[in-house]
Amino acid sequence: MPLDAWLSLAIVIAVFPLMAFSRVGPDIVLLGAVILLLILGVIEPAQALAGFSSTGLFTVAFMYVLVTSIRETGGIDLIIRHVLGRPRSEGRALLRLLLPVASLSALLNNTPVVATFIPAVLSWSRRVGVPAHRLLMPLSFASILGGTITLFGTSTNLVVHGLLVDRDPSLAMGLFDIAWVGVPVALVGLLYLRLLAPRLLPARRGAASAFDNPREFTIEMEVAPEGPLVDRTVEEAGLRHLQALFLVEIERDGNVVSVVGPGERLKGGDRLVFAGTSEGAVELQQIRGLVPTRQGASSLEKDFKERRLVEAVVSGQCQFIGRRIRDGHFRTLYGAAVLAVCRGGERVAGNLGQIRLQPADVLLLEARPPFIERHRQSRDFLLISTVNGAARPVHEKAWLAWAILAGVVALASLGVMSMMKAAMLGALLALATGCCSVGAARRGLDTQVLLTIAASFGLGAALESSGAAATLAGLALSLADGNPWLLLVGSYLLVALLTELVTNNAAVVITFPVVMAGAESLGVSPMPFVVAVMFAASASFLTPIGYQTNLMVHGPGGYRLGDFLRLGGPLNLLIALVALTLIPLFWPF
């Protein structure tokens, strides 16, 4: 291989462990790799920037706007309200959940579907008497299975199709072409979940049960009416830097002062709520002017319009990962106070300020109402849902948002417009009709995913132009002994393995030129390999980190890694068997 090929291969090999095991976001890792390839002269500026003009990238971006319009108008909530109902058994509950989720995920990005369903399912599970942990992992898996039905189902499908069209426009696929394999795959997977999920998932405590009793993680005291703390600020009273406790809120005259600042002045009769452990009560009893509160309902169990109790799932990209809550100044940055932390279904005991956050931790936060809107699209949190005081979504324009999406699907599937043009028209209509504001559309764009896709193109171009892709394809052909079916199986397994470790979009863009080179060397149609890459990239059931929706349900469901292996391992094998059997039948070599 020439030097450029060795450099390309070395950089690509280094990228995968960096994305899998470092805290640096995949977009930053890939952008850094592209810049390094550009500096070394392996690729030209046009190749490095080619991803930013890809039709697949723009189709994904416009689809984000469409999905945002449905979420903003309460379109998904409307579906949830009509389909969940009151099933009489756990089996029927699973069917009422799995079928709608898979159907919605065939047309919408999986992440907002799962994010909207999780709080609804947590509430619904209590109402129908089915443990939430038996529903949340099947919810994530059903959304993944639904995404295999259409090209709109996942951003990965759109990206692979965009790569295919850019390479050879005559190979363009219809919106529902992959449904020939996607529907059987989804049906087999959903049947597996319906029959075996109740048997394979052990009992787990979720975050909801860990946060049930506020008195386990809060202490309430009152300011003595004639005591020395009256009219003193929180800072002056020595309540700002307590060793084991945080002052979270003050209940005063039927109202609440949330996320208390150091300059807040205390008044006689104020009810102070501290987050921490019972051992911290000793510290409070030593402060003159504080007395035990009178018996009554916990302040956190009351509904105040000035504050919200919020559950937030920490993402792998959160800047607080590995840092102590106190040292990171969480309250200053987010305007929210941490009341408790749940990990693996259990509340983390000990000094709250000393807890080091980990991905999938569930935080119970006390915040002001604007917090939800401000941080809903933050990359620091995978999911933000209100525990109380949630505003009901407005559904007046939900049917209009759904109608716009249906029009986009019709235009793309009938061949009236390309998928990118149909998605662009739909996004413009969503903005023009008020289904989605410009601000909401901007927040709805997952810039990390878009940058990851764009940067991946540069690495794919380096592999192809340097000859590394052809060399790797030749190696794969020798291992497959020139058998196209073995090469198909090998391609599927490679992408399925990579997508469990790194982002699926990066996995497919980087492996795409290698797979295409292999098909061209064999002199066979590339289509079965392209479709196999799509399905393999979605077959992410083994680990919570393999797919974003898996990480979203990991904390609220109280799951452990073994739970994903137990339920997801056989499902991975089953989906691979069905897909690899059907793909050559509909797309012959």
447 by Cβ neighbours in 10 Å (0-12 / 13-18 / 19+) ranks as middle
In the predicted model, is pLDDT for residue 392 greater than 60?
A: no
pLDDT band at 388 (very low <50, low <70, confident <90, very high): low
Question: CA angle, corner 35, sides to 30 and 37, nearest 5?
Answer: 95
In the predicted model, is pLDDT for residue 570 greater than 70?
A: yes
Q: Give mean pLDDT, residues 555-565.
A: 85
Tell me, what's the pLDDT at 574? 95
pLDDT per position as a tens digit, 115-145: 888 888 887 887 888 888 889 999 999 999 9
Arithmetic mean of pLDDT over the chain: 83
Q: How far is CA 259 from CA 149, 180, 237, 312, 330, in A?
A: 45, 54, 17, 16, 11
Phi, psi torsion values for 150, nearest 5 degrees: -135, 165
Provide the 3-class DSSP secondary structure of residue 339.
Answer: strand
Is residue 570 within 8 A of residue 199, CB to CB? The reply is no
Enumerate domains of the chain plus CATH numbers: 60-208+399-447 (no CATH), 212-301 (3.30.70.1450), 308-386 (3.30.70.1450)
Least confident of 176-190, 222-236, 316-330, 518-532: 316-330
Least confident of 5-14, 35-44, 141-150, 328-337: 328-337
Phi, psi torsion values for 337, nearest 5 degrees: -105, 135
Phi, psi torsion values for 532, nearest 5 degrees: -60, -40
In the predicted model, is pLDDT for residue 390 greater than 70?
A: no
Phi, psi torsion values for 250, nearest 5 degrees: -125, 125
Taking residue 241's Cβ as centre, other Cβ atoms within 10 Å add up to 10
Provide the 3-class DSSP secondary structure of residue 250.
Answer: strand
Run of H or E including 83: helix 75-83
In 103-198, beta strands by DSSP E:
none
Amino acid at 148: T
219 by Cβ neighbours in 10 Å (0-12 / 13-18 / 19+) ranks as buried
pTM of the model: 0.80
CA atoms within 13 A on the CB side of 403: 8
The CA distance from 547 to 509, in Å, is 16
Amino acid at 485: W
Q: Give mean pLDDT, residues 92-106.
A: 90
Least confident of 19-23, 448-452, 536-540, 548-552: 19-23
pLDDT per position as a tens digit, 206-260: 666 667 677 677 788 888 888 888 888 888 888 877 777 788 888 887 788 877 8
Q: Give mean pLDDT, residues 281-287.
A: 75
Q: How far is CA 502 from CA 20, 115, 225, 486, 518, in A?
A: 5, 21, 58, 24, 23
Hey, what are 204's tokens?
Answer: 């787990």
